[in-house]
Amino acid sequence: MDPLTLATVGESSMGGALKEGGTFAAHYRVVSSEADGGRRWVSFSSSTGFGGAALTFYEFGEDGRKLHETTHALENTSMVFVHDMLVSEHYYIVLLGPIDFDPKKFATQYVLSKCSIAECLVYDRNKPARVVLAPRPGRPSGKVLAPRSLPTDPCFAFHHVNAFEVRPGP
């Protein structure tokens, strides 16, 4: 997109940083709390297939250079519907709502253009939501953290505002 006229220029692979056919999610974050005082542009993409679901996170420097690309498989997840994310000092954070895919509706209605793909998603209030914390690589603290998945009450959120980490007291 042209920054002055907002005219569409075309698709970009970010200077070859994205794989062919790669996508970005709807929202990104600009992280300005880096140790060197710089900012990073953080985005993600999701993939769903017969082998399971995964999220890939990207971090770019202010010069547009890709600094990190990290893929995290989502255990016990066959379909993912994530629209937004959060970033803290050590984690990428996503909320996985209890959303299931209705393959019957997909095969009998969506492929015949009788419903949208969103109408093939089903909210299951009997399943927990999960907060997924995926470690960010190359952190100045040097901490190497494991991924975490925290179950919570069934919920779904489309947009998020902020994330931070509480440091333990003395």
DSSP string of 85-99, one letter each residue: -EE-SSEEEEEE-SE
The reply to whether 102 falls in a domain is yes
Torsion region of 125: left, alpha or beta (phi above 0 gives left; psi -120 to 50 gives alpha): alpha
Q: Which residues are annotated as a binding site?
A: 27, 83, 159
What's the pLDDT at 58?
A: 93
| 103 φ/ψ angles, rounded to the nearest 5 degrees | -65, -30
CA distance 133 to 85: 10
The reply to whether 107 falls in a domain is yes
**H-only helix segments in the chain:** 103-105
The reply to whether 15 falls in a domain is no
Q: Which domain holds residue 53?
A: 29-152
Q: Which residues are annotated as a binding site for Fe cation?
A: 27, 83, 159
Look at the chain and report how many structural domains it folds into.
Answer: 1
Per-residue pLDDT of the chain (170 residues; tens, 9 = 90+): 787 888 888 777 777 767 666 677 778 899 886 777 789 999 998 888 777 889 999 999 888 888 999 999 988 777 778 889 999 989 999 999 998 889 899 999 999 999 998 898 899 999 999 999 999 998 877 787 899 999 999 998 888 888 888 877 66
The reply to whether 7 falls in a domain is no
The reply to whether 23 falls in a domain is no
Residue type present at position 53: A
Quick one: 56 exposed, middle or buried, by C-beta within 10 A (0-12, 13-18, 19+)?
Answer: buried
The reply to whether 6 falls in a domain is no
The reply to whether 4 falls in a domain is no
How far, rounded to the nearest angstrom, does the alpha carbon of residue 129 sit from its chain's CA centroid?
A: 15
The reply to whether 101 falls in a domain is yes
CA distance 27 to 20: 20
Whole-structure pTM value: 0.82
**Adjacency order of strands within the sheet including 129-135:** 86-87, 91-96, 129-135, 148-152
